[in-house]
Structure 1
Amino acid sequence: MQSVMRGYIRSVDAVNYRLGRVMMYGIFVLMGILLWSSISKTFFLPTLWTLEMAQFVMVGYYILGGPYSLQLGSNVRMDLLYGSWSVRRKAWFDAITVLFLIFYLCVLIYGAVSSTAYSLGYWKDAPFSFLAGVVTGTEEVGTLERSSSSWRPYLWPIKVVMIVGFVLMLLQCISELFKDILRLKGAEI
């Protein structure tokens, strides 16, 4: 069982590490969009797409970079008591709290899948089977949801990014849970 956990940890950590390293450069994309927004408002006609696109890039940057942040342990933590605890006590505490995070992420994934199905024109009560049908080609997409801004981009791409980010965060949380279990057993990770 420990070898299965180690294999899972290695594979999930590798994917999230590589994606996180790529997403670090998303801040430069965001800066470029905002710079172009400032330049176009000052010297040319203001563009309609820049602020909303900056919001979309920020969502992708934040959500897809989250698993990397969790993997590195750079998430915000109240260190008042935690810093003085032993490795074993930290592992117990982390194992318990990550279970709450896993539950929360499952709720977020359900909401993101429902919202994505809605943005693809599905208004019934089985969003998971609808999205599976869209992927396999057995379901057809309805009227696509668009933003209410004057630019009016489709919203399904950013909602798909949210699903991918939440799933990757869930996988990383399970990896962190496995690391805590291995620490409690005294095994090497």
Structure 2
Amino acid sequence: MSFLLSLSRFIDALNEKIGSLVSWALLISVLICTGNAVVRYAFNYSSNAWLEIQWYLFAAIFLLGASYTLKRNEHVRIDVVVGRFSKRTQVWIDIFGFLLFLLPMTLIILYYAVPYTWISIESQEVSSNAGGLIIWPAKLLIPAGFLLLTLQGVSELIKRIGFLQGRVPASAFEKQATTPEEEIEAIKAANKLN
């Protein structure tokens, strides 16, 4: 189990680093979008390449950021229902969710995405839009993102099993952001200052 926990820490660190890097793609996308709008309205000039690079950056944010979101336990959940159960029951629900839904789906998508992407790389696929970009780098994000999501799913599974064995604290996989209650309290405190 110690090897698996080391593997889990490696996967977590990898997705944490990628998540931090991908967050810069959002800033770059906003700057490109703003620059494109200014140039379009001020100089009546535009290029499909600028629009497509925004789509590529959005795809990178979404596909490469999904594993980071799962690692931080910020994915969509039904906390209203699950939150009423004991921590041990919540962990069992997570394990079944990872084994029955997350991992099979990511593996199926990987199975179909790899040849789909490979065909695009081999043919050096280019956008059909005038002045468009090459497409295969964007398509490469699909298997890369789902590979990272699969790895993070395995890491989360290892942590949950480690918790059941008493080797991993619950804090290793709990939400790392503020709770809704904490956010409400922060809003109330801010309103009192105004």
Distance 1:155 1:108 in 2: 19
Name the counterpart of 2:165.
185
Name the counterpart of 2:7.
8
Seq. identity, %: 29
The residue type paired with residue 75 of structure 1 is: H
CA RMSD of aligned residues (A): 1.3
- Shift, 1:151, TM fit: 2.1
Contact 1:40–1:47 (CA<8 Å) still a contact in 2?
Answer: no
Runs of 4+ in 1 over 3 A off after TM superposition: none
Task: State yes or no: 1:152 paired with 2:125.
Answer: no
The residue type paired with residue 58 of structure 1 is: F
- Shift, 1:111, TM fit: 1.9
Cα-to-partner distance string for 1:10-60 (whole Å, 9 max, x where unaligned): 100011111111111211011011001101111121222121110100000
TM-score normalized by structure 1? 0.84
Contact 1:109–1:166 (CA<8 Å) still a contact in 2?
Answer: yes
Contact 1:34–1:54 (CA<8 Å) still a contact in 2?
Answer: yes
Query: How many residues are matched?
Result: 167
TM-score normalized by structure 2? 0.82
**Higher helix proportion:** 2
The residue type paired with residue 166 of structure 1 is: F
Contiguous gaps of at least 5 residues in structure 2: 170-194
Contact 1:48–1:151 (CA<8 Å) still a contact in 2?
Answer: yes
Task: State yes or no: 1:81 paired with 2:61.
Answer: no
- Shift, 1:185, TM fit: 1.8
Distance 2:111 2:147 in 1: 10
Q: SS of 1:24's equivalent?
A: helix
Distance 1:56 1:186 in 2: 43
